[in-house]
Amino acid sequence: MSLKHLIGGQLVDGGSRRAPVYNPSTGAVIREVPLADAATLQQAVDAAQAAFPAWRNTPPAKRAQVLFRFKQLLESNEERLVQLISEEHGKTLEDAAGELRRGIENVEYATAAPELLKGEYNRNAGPSIDTWSDFQPLGVVAGITPFNFPAMVPLWMYPLAIACGNTFILKPSERDPSSTLAIAQLFEEAGLPKGVLNVVHGDKEAVDGLIDAPEVKALSFVGSTPIAEYIYARGTAKGKRVQALGGAKNHAVVMPDADLGNTVNALMGAAYGSCGERCMAISVAVCVGDQVADALIARLVPEIEKLKVGPGTQCGLDMGPLVTGAHLDKVTGYVADGVAAGAKLVVDGRSLKVADHEEGFFLGGCLFDQVTPEMRIYKEEIFGPVLCVVRVKSLEEGIALINAHEYGNGTCIFTRDGEAARLFGDQIEVGMVGINVPLPVPVAYHSFGGWKRSLFGDLHAYGPDGVRFYTRRKTITQRWPQRETQEASQFAFPSNG
């Protein structure tokens, strides 16, 4: 079965190249996805450009009505969408359902478009002068999204962009595109005019085409840091507004007074949920003191060994497979590198075999101890079910360690000490911080984004920052002179003085 692009409300072929889509639980190719060529991409740009004038002039309240219907369709089609996510990504059904629901939260936020787009007004800002600010759409905007959240991350982008009056071109990951395409079709079923949302499959050729297209005014990206930096540099050089979210190395500080039972449970989900393929996954446990580290590892080991791993489409599992065979090789390569560097591999998940799914891309949970900052497994984002334990002597040393890392996406601290929590929250140089919360992903009415090399651009994703990213402010100042009154020329710069 070959998927198609969604352009101007029609499913179309485009591009002579095809890429395989795998079921990661079996290792089998289950679909093919077309990779757009320049002509296909231009067709999408033209469709979005043609749809923009009418959509821009559609009242925000009417846009919101379409979004309300879209939300209802997402909820009524949840089972089908969750199945598609799990089938192509490999994450468990429960995890896929959680992803979809967090995406729906962003649709809910976007339904508030009439409130979010209200301008600011001042009467008599000067003598008989009124001033107001208006938030207007940019035009054609685009999003490039990753494989690890094929439903949620696109829903971070286009519902809000479209609510703000823009038209959108989405380039989803070619590894698991079916749920993304199905969701976009539901938006059209909800009454979205043709061409307002277009889905174009592709690889680097499509990405470069979106960056270079003069009609595309803004780009939003989520993925690895090297690609985020590339898109930001190339896009801004062409005068585009760019928001590029990159990689992460998220640390969890475990204090001596932490509730160890709850900490272990939290770390298990944060490190091994979705097979570690989350930009907010905890991949480093920073233990304050050897006693804390020893106690934490002693409790983690049996929990890791009990992980229920199998095909994501089966219920009641903790972990499914990694997304592709190439990614499995990459993660196991990191494990081997950690061993060679001298880290202690306490739990080795490489020997895991899943009955009747021997060709699947499975890896069991891995746990390293005695990890040091110069090791690759500490410095680089592994994006797999690998947790590293680093030992420090004090909270201050832990904060300094985290602040020295190039990434600053998410972090957390486990403690019962309010003073320690306040110090950590104040001094840590990370964009999203949890206090006894392992995955501090902001809700839809806040904004998501890291610091340092985890984010390129000034505005975070979704929430209030998302509204500002997809609009530009226009300030209008007006004055109506009295009739038949001749006013003298004024050469001094105007003021209220």
pLDDT at 247: 95
pLDDT in tens, 209-218: 999 999 999 9
- Taking the C-alpha atoms of residue 86 and residue 421, their distance in angstroms, rounded to an integer, is 37
Q: Within 13 Å of residue 349, how many CA atoms lie on the same side as its CB?
A: 34
- Taking the C-alpha atoms of residue 235 and residue 229, their distance in angstroms, rounded to an integer, is 10
pTM of the predicted protein model: 0.95
- What are the residue ranges spanned by the domains of the chain? 5-246+454-476, 250-435
Q: 77: pLDDT confidence band, cut at 50, 70 and 90?
A: very high
For domain 250-435, give the fold. Answer: Aldehyde Dehydrogenase; Chain A, domain 2 (3.40.309)
315 is an active site residue: no
Q: Phi/psi of residue 6, each to 5°? A: -110, 105
**Torsion of Cα atoms, 167 then 172 then 176 then 182, to 10°:** 10
- Taking the C-alpha atoms of residue 191 and residue 55, their distance in angstroms, rounded to an integer, is 12
pLDDT in tens, 235-259: 999 999 999 999 999 999 999 999 9
Q: Pick the catalytic residue from 164, 275, 279, 366.
A: 279
With 80 as the cut, is the pLDDT of residue 107 above it? yes
- Taking the C-alpha atoms of residue 293 and residue 284, their distance in angstroms, rounded to an integer, is 12
With 70 as the cut, is the pLDDT of residue 497 above it? no
| Residue 339 Cα to chain centre, angstroms | 31
With 70 as the cut, is the pLDDT of residue 317 above it? yes
For 5-246+454-476, CATH gives: 3.40.605.10
Q: 494: pLDDT confidence band, cut at 50, 70 and 90?
A: confident
| Residue among 411, 343, 415, 395 at smallest CA distance from 374 | 343
Which residue type sits at 388?
C
For the purposes of burial, counting CB atoms within 10 Å of the CB of 72, is it exposed (0-12), middle (13-18) or buried (19 or more)?
Answer: middle
Q: Between these two residues, 497 and 85, which has the higher pLDDT value?
A: 85
197-211, 312-326, 403-417, 478-492, range with the lowest pLDDT: 478-492
- Taking the C-alpha atoms of residue 297 and residue 240, their distance in angstroms, rounded to an integer, is 48
- Taking the C-alpha atoms of residue 478 and residue 496, their distance in angstroms, rounded to an integer, is 15
Task: For the beta carbon of residue 467, count every other beta carbon within 10 angstroms.
Answer: 22
- Taking the C-alpha atoms of residue 172 and residue 77, their distance in angstroms, rounded to an integer, is 20
